[in-house]
Structure 1
Amino acid sequence: MKSSFLSGAALIGVSLLAASLQAQPAATADPYAALEEVDGASALAQVRQWNDRSLAELEKQPGFETYRSRALALLSDRQKIAAPDQVLAGRVVNFWQDADHPRGLWRIASVEAFAAGKPDWRTLIDVGALGKAEGRSWAFKGATCLAPAYVRCMVALSDGGGDAVTEREYDLDRGAFVEGGFVVPEAKTSVAWDGPDALYVATDFGDGSKTDSGYARLVKRWKRGTPLASATLVAEGERADVSISARSVHDGRRSWAWVDRRTDFFHGTIRHVAADGRLVASPLPDDAEVNDVIDGRLIATLKSPWEGRPAGALVAYRIADLLDGRKPAIETVFVPTARQAIEEVETGGQVVWIKLLDDVSGKLVAVRRGDDERWSATTAALPDKATVHIRAVSGKDDRAFATVEAMLTPPALYVAAPTGKAEVVQALKPRFDATGMAVEQRFATSKDGTRIPYFLVRKSGASGPVPALVHAYGGFEAAQTPAYLVNEPYRSGPAALFWVEEGNAYVLANIRGGGEYGPAWHHAALREKRQNAYDDLYAVAEDLVKAGISQKGRIAVSGRSNGGLMAGVAMTQRPDLFGAAVIGSPLLDMKRYSHLLAGASWMGEYGNPDVPADWSFIARYSPYQALKAGVKYPVPFLYTSTRDDRVHPGHARKFAAKMEAIGAPFLYFEALEGGHAAGVEPKEDALRAALVTSYLNLQLPR
């Protein structure tokens, strides 16, 4: 039964919010604009009140503490894949978290011992201990290491888990930060090495150095032993751009550097850096995605047809030809079929490794250039109908390390040779009893006739409708592939596992806007075509009803970030279909999104709401503007983070405030720490797993 606590107007706290808004100018169009002040006193007071009220309701639900403690144990278990983050000159580096080290250990081992399943780990940085010693809430955000020795690295650390980082130089052999070494202060920064004594740095250099999206507008070259302020300009973009950055890749013979200016999220210009500092434009179309370099050839994925090659194809050209003033020949490396999509590309010494999706099932393919200058492909012998991710490639022998998992199959780490032979390095034992559970891939038909795949997991032989949780994303060409149920849905720990164990159905929907079938699948939901993604979601939910798997009003929609937008749209467009909505780290006010944090960088996806023609189609689905009094909406669970410096917490806050004002009940939780892309500690996702599961039990009748 639904709680009586949620059946009324739920107006506690309105007086506090109203008082804070009295100070706002009368002409303010948005009555809840004060909630956009991330650390504003009145905004945080309102957040605390919503948090306290919602936690009190959810924590008293049957099984809450059991869910949380079990989720934490699963997410902190030492029995997990030690996946390689990089293979560097015969050594593997890995970032590891467990119950004893919730902030993580950055560590290193020899590649031979690692491949044999007996890694000799040496800890480089204990992130928790470092944070404690320095009085910071450090979260590890990766490292950029100097080729070909890979001894010096620029380590990125975030205070609180956001996208802004401090970059510090580290010596792998000594296991210590370099005294007097390179340090780039906290900002949304990217770095690349230019030899041992210089860096390309894209960061906040002061007034006018950032784009409207909050990223770097300038790339400079910084010489060792000089102040950052004296770094010399390499390239610059415009304020209206998304960002600019530099990248340097070593292919075994030499390093190649280029500048990437992103004019919007999907378009930009690539300019190679010549030895004399000249910038030479790439011949690639402006929507191509640069992947890597091999044997002096730049490897890139096409996002639109180009010179007789289809969108989705992998191409290459010799960088030296371009720098020497010659027109480089464009080579076709690989062309996927209509049911395939290239999702990941990594290079070794002589082999390009491709992770393909084939009807949303993962495959690993090795592609090599022969003496006849043609590229040929070999498929690695990995399990079928699974999710595959390339973790790292060894440049010395072209071996690829890849993880393989499925909803009911625990992750395993394989090492694959270019011949196609693959061996298990580490395989996890099952972490839950999957006996009596079954997974199937089904297809729904969307409003325009498009075939939409989705994965369904439930008890074997289940008959009769049960509550269903449908998770989806549908944007930015990001495919949704099934993970072991300990990590479904994304950033909600084992919530899906708990849900299925209790006799319910979990669905992962592959709606348009993602990359499941390549660029065309993404383009079908861009800008004015956004409604296609939402119609796909509704088709999946209605297919569950038609098949007798679930019923209207007993289906929950779930999404995070762009998926949180989707869940908000579903709740406001189809309150008849959904009985609950998990709306995570969401965009909801699509009139204001481009003015909040990194929002301007996504106008290539959604359009510009300040342009009337664009707002005319965005307004048709923007959830914040769609909320109306008198409509019986499903009671949503909104969650976000105060420290999310990518998607502004004001979206969730203002949506909650408007629901409160129209007398519509909701539940809300805003974590005070943790960024957008990843949690700082496993306890964050463990708590969310308990909150989501308890919320679903509360809202969806059995």
Structure 2
Amino acid sequence: MADPLNDDPHLWLEDIRDEKALAWARERTAETEAAYSDPALARRLRGILDDPDRIVVPSRHGEWMYDLWRDAANPRGLWRRASHTSFLTGTPEWQVLLDIDALGRDEGTPWAFAGAVHGPRGTQRALVQLSPDGGDAHVAREFDLAAARFVDDGFALAADKSHSAWLDPDTLLVGTALEGGAQTDSGYPRTARVWRRGTDLAAASPVIEAQPSDVAVFVGVDRTGDDVTAISSIAHDFFHQESFVWTADHPNPVRLAVPDDAYTNVHGDLIAVRTTTDWTVAGVAHPGGTLLVGPLATVTDGDGSELTAVFTPTATAVLEDWSWTKRRLVLTVLENVRSRIVSLDPADGWAQTDIDTGIESSDILTVDVVAADADEDDELWLFARGFLTPQTLIVTDAAAPAPSVVDQAPAVFDADGLVTTQHWAVSADGTRIPYFQIGRREIDGPAPVILSGYGGFEVSRLAEYATIQGPAWLEAGGVYVVANIRGGGEFGPAWHLAALRENRHRAYEDFVAVARDLVARQVTTAERIGCHGGSNGGLLVGNMLTQFPDDFGAVVCGVPLLDMRRYTRLSAGASWIAEYGDPDDPADWEFIRTFSPYHLIDPDRAYPPSLFYAATSDDRVGPVQARKMVARLTDETDAEVHYLEQDEGGHAASIDNGAKAALQATIHTFLTDALVRRVSPVRAAS
């Protein structure tokens, strides 16, 4: 009997940096680029991405607004800041803190900026994180913001998938596998340690320690007001964790008395708890998706009885996110996959105020809170956009809403005659599945369609400005569709839980139901539909290729999971067992094998043309699953299959605007060839 774990002639492609495997990847990539690269489209897309007039979406830390700016002259970016007052004028006076390109040239490492962890207020210090190749592993170095330089003999961590937070100006709380910290089976830190300035990291004693089978240890610090609360958690799997806090009143970590599948957020002497499944506390039952708020002490020293439900989901309205200002709790709510912002007043029994963006548009909009300072004031920075509505940055007040537009991005494509509509398909089990359709108001004959989806990890697919799809697809008459399938978070945690593990097939049935609904509505025909997904979305479209090939005319599969028998042994795959199941458990493998595209390849079946892409530096999923899928399809079937592997870029598959533009130009040129040039009007209409 064949062994699906080891009886595989393509295992040699799993050695990511093996020269033979790299040569194979380079050869296939060269073939794909020769066939589908489009320099003119790539130049246009890069010009859009590098546009000096594009919008800046800042982060706020006290009196400073921070940004990473990339353009043609600075492809890796300038990390910079402007004063809060200057930014409000709409013409910020920027201070460049760090030139990432110059740093790379000076040090001989092509650094990519991976974020900054800001120190306590008044310290003017931060930990700057830099990735050597765009992957998740990064170095961390202490940076003096006032002097705009790295600190000699400051805190520094070598490349690692670390997490850090400042306890005080001379003390870090660090989750790291370095200096004896050890890794979990998923490749993340096992220990959280308190590291004091001037001491060796190896000498820092663990505060908490995970088991090898756990996913990771995470750390954070809340310093709202006068309180400093250290926070750490042990993630047992992707959705269950034990969380601990310690303060001046509790110098030793105290476990929070909340469900392991809940999400928590400390804000001064308050805690917010969002449930995932039903939770009965102090005799009151709260459904999954409820947000409860109360004194932190009620879940450290008490029985939770002082928690108050400030948001309870309905069949159509769910909580997407929440943020704190100085005196307000601000909720991002999804109502039938359309967002709205709600401000709650703790001093008035959590009275609610809807916050208007001030934007008048018939488009379907997404609005996020992108900047707020819980210590400073009730100022709230909102980021609004729709598929056809350019991004708009708005400042308002959470206590007394008065929206003011600070900046709006220029339109990058001609949206005249285009419209966004929402439709509903019916899945195999009768569940109604919403999807967004963007295209001409009147479609004359079957149109080429790009159908996009994700369907996992409670990630919601919301309206985003069509920066790439507009100029590359919509202007030429194509239709762009985003499916809100189960596995995502569009209708709260229950929508996600409905497609976990043995129920994974529901996500795939939902997606193909959307494709078939587009045909039933005479928007298109099956051979004119191309599906595109990345990461977990790559697994989604990999299943479209192998399970529903007759429903699609092309498949684009990016940075994907595909070999679900070995995925837990590759890169960070072990961290996703809670989502997909454990293939080493025979009972789990029985259902996993039904959605493992690598094992569903049938030599006797006809498949639509496909394009797979990945990055050598991807240390989250890795390129090996895409490599093996392409190799097996090529060796065992008559399928037309193409492959593209960039070296840098990590899980994003591109590291700068130039690489992103080139990748997207190749993808859309392939789709245009497969869905437009090869399909005759007569055949398409039949």
TM-score interval (norm. to shorter): over 0.9
- Report the counterpart of residue 485 of structure 2 in structure 1: 511
Residue identity in the other structure for 1:181: G
Alignment of 1:39-188 (within 5 A): 39-59=17-37, 64-85=38-59, 87-149=60-122, 151-188=124-161
Shift of 1:677: 4.0
- SS of residue paired to 2:68: strand
Aligned pairs for 1:163-242 within 5 A: 163-205=136-178, 209-242=182-215
Does 2:657 match 1:695?
A: no
CA drift of 1:208 comes to 7.0
- 2:415 paired with 1:440: no
Partner of 2:312: 335
Matched, 1:401 2:376: no
Separation (CA, whole Å) in 1 of partners of 2:420 and 2:298: 51
Please report the RMSD computed on the Cα atoms of aligned residues, expressed in angstroms. 1.8
- Residue 180 of structure 1: how far off its partner (Å): 0.9
C-alpha distance in structure 1 between counterparts of 2:266 and 2:91, whole Å: 31
Aligned: 1:29 with 2:7? yes
1:564 aligns with 2:544: no
Verify the 8 A CA contact 2:181 2:191 in the aligned structure 1. Answer: no
CA pair 444-497 structure 1, distance change in 2 beyond 3 A: farther
Secondary structure class of the residue paired with 2:546: helix
Q: Does 1:416 align with 2:417?
A: no
8 Å Cα contact 1:72-1:682 kept in structure 2: yes
Render the CA deviation track for 1:379-427: whole Å, top value 9, x for unaligned: 1112473011211103322111111111111000011212232111111
Aligned mates of 1:677, 1:557 — CA distance in 2? 18
Kindly provide the amino acid, as one letter, of the partner of residue 325 in structure 2.
G
Greater Cα shift, 461-470 or 673-682: 673-682
Q: Deviations over 1:471-494 (max 9, x none)?
A: 0000000000121111xxxxxxx1
Could you say which residue in structure 2 is the equivalent of 1:390? 369
* TM-score (normalizing by structure 1): 0.92
> Which of these residues, 356, 360, 380, is aligned with residue 355 of structure 2?
380
Bigger Cα displacement from structure 2, 48-57 vs 508-517: 48-57
Amino acid at match of 2:94: W
- CA drift at 1:113: 2.1
Give the number of the structure with larger relative contact order, counting CA–CA contacts within 8 Å between residues 6 or more apart.
1
- Counterpart-to-counterpart distance in 2, 1:301 and 1:150: 33
Cα distance in 2 for residues equivalent to 1:94 and 1:604? 35
Is 1:317 matched up with 2:317? no
CA contact (8 A) 1:103 1:127 kept: yes
The reply to whether residue 670 of structure 1 matches residue 651 of structure 2 is: no
Given the two structures, how large is their TM-score scaled by the length of structure 2?
Answer: 0.94
Letter in 2 for 1:283: A
CA separation in 1, counterparts of 2:596 and 2:369?
A: 36
- In the TM superposition, what is the alpha-carbon distance from 1:181 to its structure 2 partner? 0.5
Task: Measure, in 1, the Cα distance between the counterparts of 2:170 and 2:653.
Answer: 32
For residues 320-369 of structure 1, the C-alpha deviation after alignment (integer angstroms, 9 at most, x for no partner) is: 45556786621222223321222222212111122221111111111220
Shift of 1:680: 2.0
Q: Counterpart of 2:429 in structure 1: which amino acid?
A: D
1:280–1:322 contact (8 Å) kept in structure 2? no
CA distance in 1, matches of 2:156, 2:471: 43
Residues of 2 paired with 1:408 and 1:661: CA distance?
43
CA distance in 2: counterparts of 1:157 and 1:208, whole angstroms: 20
Contact (CA 8 Å) 1:203, 1:216: kept in 2 or not?
yes
Structure-1 residue corresponding to 2:683: none
Paired position in structure 2 for 1:680: 655
1:656-675 Cα distance to aligned partner (Å, 9 max, x none) = 11011114220110001111
1:363 to 322, 340, 345: 340
Identify the match of residue 589 of structure 1 among 560, 563, 566. Answer: 563
SS at structure 2 position matched to 1:646? coil
1:612-662 deviations in Å (ceiling 9; x for gaps): 111111111110000121211011100000000001211000001101111
Question: Separation in 1 of the partners of 2:299 and 2:423?
Answer: 47
Per-residue CA deviations over 1:59-103 (Å, capped at 9, x if unaligned) read 3xxxx2221111111111112221112x21221111221222111
The residue identity in structure 2 corresponding to 1:697 is T
2:684: which partner in 1? none
Q: Is residue 601 of structure 2 the alignment partner of residue 623 of structure 1?
A: no
Whole-Å separation in 2 of the counterparts to 1:628 and 1:208: 45
- Tell me: CA distance 1:496–1:150, structure 2 relative to 1, closer, same or farther (3 Å): farther
Amino acid of the structure 1 residue aligned with 2:373? S
Q: Distance in 1 between matches of 2:310 and 2:113?
A: 35
Alignment of 1:272-671 (within 5 A): 272-275=245-248, 277-290=251-264, 292-307=265-280, 308-320=285-297, 329-371=306-348, 374-382=349-357, 383=359, 385-395=364-374, 396-418=376-398, 419-486=400-467, 494-495=468-469, 497-663=471-637, 664-671=639-646
Find the residue that maps to 1:131 and give its secondary structure: helix
CA shift in 2, pair 1:327/1:333, >3 Å: closer
Classify the secondary structure of the residue corresponding to 2:286. Answer: coil
Q: Which amino acid aligns with 1:392?
A: A
Q: Is the Cα contact below 8 Å between 2:277 and 2:289 reproduced in 1?
A: yes
- Asked if 2 retains the 8 angstrom alpha-carbon contact of 1:319 and 1:328, the reply is no
Q: For each residue in 1:5-31, what CA deviation from the matched residue of structure 2 results, as whole angstroms up to 9, or x when unmatched?
A: xxxxxxxxxxxxxxxxxxxx9x95111
Q: CA deviation at 1:206?
A: 5.0
Secondary structure of the residue aligned to 1:410 is coil
Compare 544-553 and 199-208 and name the one that shifted more: 199-208
**Native 8 Å contact 2:356 2:403 kept in 1:** yes
Equivalent residue of 1:102, what SS?
Answer: coil
The one-letter code of the counterpart of 1:403 is F
User: CA 1:158/1:190 → structure 2, altered by over 3 Å: closer, same or farther?
Assistant: same
Distance in 1 between the 2:596 and 2:486 partners? 18
> 576-585 or 660-669, which moves further after superposition?
660-669
Unaligned runs of 5+ in 1: 1-24, 487-493
Code of the aligned partner of 1:220? R
Deviations 1:202-261 (A, max 9, x none): 112356711000000011111100111111111101100000121101112221111111
Instruction: Please state whether the residue corresponding to 2:663 is helix, strand or coil.
Output: helix
Report the equivalent of 2:219. Answer: 246
Which amino acid counterpart does residue 541 of structure 1 have in structure 2? A
1:317 CA displacement = 2.9
**What secondary structure does 1:576 align onto?**
helix
Q: Which amino acid aligns with 1:600?
A: A
2:370, 2:6 → 1: CA distance? 49
Q: 1:78 touches 1:99 (CA, 8 Å); kept in 2?
A: no
User: Is 1:262 aligned with 2:262?
Assistant: no
Instruction: Answer yes or no: is the 8 Å Cα contact 1:294–1:349 preserved in 2.
Output: no
Code of the residue aligned with 2:8 in structure 1: it is D
Identify the range of structure 1 (100-109 vs 562-571) with the bigger mean alpha-carbon deviation: 100-109
Tell me which residue corresponds to 1:10. none
CA distance in 2, matches of 1:335, 1:363: 15
Contact 2:179–2:201 (Cα < 8 Å) also in 1: no
Aligned partners of 1:318 and 1:328 also within 8 Å = no
1: CA distance between counterparts of 2:216 and 2:628?
28
C-alpha separation in 1, matches of 2:290 and 2:235: 21
